[in-house]
Homo-oligomer: A and B are copies of this chain.
Amino acid sequence: MARRQRWPDSTKRALVDVAERLFTEHGYSATSLDAIVAGADVTKGALYHHFSGKQAIFEAAFERVESRATAGIARATEGHRDPWLKAQAGLRAFLGAVQEPGYRQIVISDGPSVLGHERYREREERSTYAIVDEIVRSALGGGDWDLDDAMLDTFTRIFFGAMSAAGGAVAVSEDPAAAALRVEAAIGFVLAGLQRLLEEGVGSPDPGATSRT
């Protein structure tokens, strides 16, 4: 019955295509394997031949969606020499990527709980997070502060979390363009504050220095 005989790659691609669409539209738990295989016009035997289970095909869709976003952001940031301009370009690209429904649902919403925070961190560590980390390091690491790795990592986490939350707010906003501009302005202002402190040679933010009085 299935006319997709003897060409396995197209079957696998079709499954991931349908899975990405359904996971995006209805979320992970509300998407049944029966619906996926029906959409791809195959049976569960085919799915379980190519994937070890529901989580595995979700991961395939996850990877595809995220690599698209990562590539877009990387493309936007390359070519900038000034780290602050690079940060701004990266932020803008991130805010654009996060408005894609697939990214919001699969990566941000279902990703952590389905893959587990462990595997999720591992994946993010090598993609979007890595870009943010690179930008943060080039912007803050170059100064005369002696920020160690742990401290730079903390800054990256903070900025990544801020951007993710901001992206979500932008995505659900009734006027995403205006919301994106506000986010750019706010983060730009935060960056300007840091830049000012850098220029003025304020002491590095050591643990304890700003935690008391």
Q: Which residues of A contact B (CB under 8 A)?
A: 27-29, 88, 92, 109-110, 112-113, 117, 121, 150-151, 154-155, 157-166, 168-169, 172, 178-179, 181-190, 192-197, 200, 202, 205-211
- Check if A165 sits within 8 Å of B164, measured CB to CB: yes
- Check if A211 sits within 8 Å of B169, measured CB to CB: no
- Check if B154 sits within 8 Å of A179, measured CB to CB: yes
- Check if B181 sits within 8 Å of A158, measured CB to CB: no
CA distance A152 to B157 in the complex (A): 22
- Quickly give the copy total for this chain: 2
5 interchain residue pairs of minimum CB distance: A161-B165, A193-B193, A188-B210, A181-B207, A189-B205
Residue in B159, B166, B192 whose beta carbon sits within 8 Å of that of A157 in the complex: B166
Residue ID in chain B nearest A182 by CB atoms = B154
- Check if A154 sits within 8 Å of B206, measured CB to CB: no
CA distance A196 to B28 in the complex (A): 46
Given the interface contacts A110-B113, A113-B110, A192-B197, does A183 sit within 8 Å of B154 by beta carbon? yes
Residue in B112, B172, B196 whose beta carbon sits within 8 Å of that of A193 in the complex: B196
Residue ID in chain B nearest A177 by CB atoms = B207
- Check if B207 sits within 8 Å of A185, measured CB to CB: yes
8 A-B pairs besides A158-B187, A161-B165, A196-B200 with CB distance below 8 A are A28-B113, A117-B168, A150-B179, A151-B186, A184-B207, A188-B210, A189-B194, A193-B197
CA distance A179 to B178 in the complex (A): 35
- Check if A184 sits within 8 Å of B210, measured CB to CB: yes
Contacts of A202 in B (CB 8 A): 192
21 pairs, CB–CB < 8 Å, chain A vs chain B: A29-B113, A109-B113, A109-B117, A110-B113, A113-B113, A154-B182, A154-B183, A154-B185, A154-B186, A157-B166, A158-B162, A158-B183, A161-B166, A162-B165, A165-B165, A184-B207, A184-B210, A185-B207, A188-B205, A189-B205, A192-B193
